[in-house]
Amino acid sequence: MKTVILAAMIVLIMVTTDAVASSFGVEYDSTGGLGINYNSANDFASKLKADGWTQKFLYGDASAWEKDFKDVSKPGGQDNYYADAVDVVFWEGHGAPDSLYVPPPDDHYVTYDDAIWGNLNLEWILAHSCSVLADDHLADWAYKACAQGAHGMCSHKTTVNACNAGSRMAELLVAGWTFKDAWFQQHIEKQYTGCTARVICTDATKNDKLWNHGGMAADPKPGDLWYVWTVTK
């Protein structure tokens, strides 16, 4: 009997630890002169780790793979181990209105059709890339990629300069800012005049903060209305 209770306690501790652990993952492309993205990714990771978060993965360049973002139900997808296995994902690299551009040798685009984020775990994806949230595919990112449980996505409408956004974003999140406000604040500080940042989320999740700095709203449900917030510097 004692053995059973002990085993049950161990299992409970393991499950509980996993359930309450706040985890994040980072991938980036620092090739082709985007060297600053290495700093951005690593600074984001180190500042969240210092705040008590668990880093589940940190991959860059040739180790950043499309399938990490691709839903497990799609051919080759393994987001159940990566993007959708953590609470927050930070990506810095190239992008287009329909995709995140993962660098060679993988050399694939992560499109809104590849992604179903949040049906497992992911709440927020921060994509420091050009134009992912341009007008063309806003509804696709909201209702195809995110609406199964993700809370929100941050990116841009226009082109954007590579910079150390990760460091500043993490600083503001740890200071208790919402994802939305932190994204816009680092944007105002670091981007050129005329550059447009965007956040898509629901009305319920618009004030989400890091777990240990205010917490998050309940998961949105499919069918919930999504909004786009926009700031042009």
Partner 1 sequence: MKISKYSYLLLGLAILLGVFAVATQNFGFCTDASILTMELPQKEGANAKPAFTLQTILPTVPEKLGIYSMNVPMVSIESTKTLAVSRLKVAPTKLAEISAPTIAKINAPSGISSARLVNQAAPEAKLEAPVARLDTAKLQPLDQVVDLGDAFSLATAESYVSVDKTSAAETVILNVPSLAASRKAALPSEDVLKQKANAYAAENNLLPEGYQYSGMSYLTRQEIGQGGVQGPVEQITGIAKYSRTIDGLAVEGPGSTICVLLGEGGQPLGYTKVSRNIGAKIAVSSVKAPGLLKTMAAEEKTFDLLSPEEAFQMLQERGMTTEIADVNTATVDKMYLAYYEAEPDKKQEETEPVYVFEGTATGPGGSVQYKEFMYALRMKNAKAPFEMPSPTKAKERKADEPMTAGTKDPELLR
- Give residues 153-192 in contact with partner 1 (rule: CB under 8 A): 157-164, 167-168, 171, 175-178, 180-181, 184-185, 188-192
Please list every residue from 35 through 94 that binds partner 1, using CB under 8 A. 35-36, 38, 52, 56-63, 65, 80-82, 84-87, 92-94
Residues ≥6 apart with Cβ < 8 Å to 46: none
Query: Do the bridges between strand 109-111 and strand 124-128 make them parallel or antiparallel, or are there none, so unpaired?
Result: unpaired
Considering beta carbons, is residue 1 or 58 the nearer one to partner 1?
A: 58
Considering beta carbons, is residue 1 or 144 the nearer one to partner 1?
A: 144
141: which DSSP letter? Answer: I
Tell me the DSSP string of 62-80: GG--GGGTS-TTSTT--TT
Q: How far is the CB of 117 from partner 1 (least distance, A)?
A: 10
Query: Does the footprint of partner 1 cover residue 229 (CB under 8 A)?
Result: yes
How buried is residue 133: exposed, middle or buried, by Cβ count under 10 Å (0-12/13-18/19+)? buried
Considering beta carbons, is residue 4 or 197 the nearer one to partner 1?
A: 197
Whole-number Å distance between alpha carbons of 30 and 33: 7
Please list every residue from 8 through 27 that binds partner 1, using CB under 8 A. 18-20, 22
With beta carbons less than 8 A apart as the criterion, state whether 100 and 115 touch. Answer: no
Q: How far is the CB of 9 from partner 1 (least distance, A)?
A: 19
Considering beta carbons, is residue 9 or 214 the nearer one to partner 1?
A: 214
Q: How far is the CB of 4 from partner 1 (least distance, A)?
A: 24
- Token pair listed for 83: 């993007």
Amino acid residing at 76 = G
Residues ≥6 apart with Cβ < 8 Å to 176: 209, 213, 214
Comparing CA positions, the residue from 103, 81, 80 lying closest to residue 91 is 103
Please list every residue from 193 through 212 that binds partner 1, using CB under 8 A. 193-196, 200, 203, 206-209, 211-212
Query: Does the footprint of partner 1 cover residue 148 (CB under 8 A)?
Result: no
Please list every residue from 209 through 228 that binds partner 1, using CB under 8 A. 209, 211-212, 214-219, 221, 225-228
Query: Pattern of binders to partner 1 over 100-139, x per CB under 8 A?
Result: -x-x-----x----------xxxx----xxxx--xxxxxx
